[in-house]
Amino acid sequence: CTHVHEAATHSKMRAFLEHLMAEEIAPTLRTNPGMDANEKLLANIPAYSALILGRLENVAVKDQLDRLAMDGSEKFRVQGREVVAEGLALGLPMHGFALSVAAWAHFVAREVREGSEVRDMGGAAVTAPFQAGGTGLPAFLSMEDIFGDLARNEGWRASVTSMFDVITEDGISTAIDALLAEVPLEVELAR
In what helix (H) or strand (E) does residue 191 lie, and over which residues does it extend? none
Q: Please give the pLDDT value at position 190.
A: 34
- Nearest-angstrom CA–CA distance, 165 and 12: 19
Q: What is the DSSP letter of 27?
A: G
- Model confidence at 32: pLDDT above 80: no
Q: Please give the pLDDT value at position 37.
A: 60
Is this model's pTM higher than 0.85 or not?
Answer: yes
Mean predicted lDDT score pLDDT of the chain:
88
Q: Please give the pLDDT value at position 133.
A: 87
Angle between helices 95-113 and 154-170 (to 10 degrees): 60
133 vs 68: which has the higher pLDDT: 133
User: Going by C-beta distance under 8 Å and a sequence separation of 6 or more, which residues neighbour residue 116?
Assistant: none
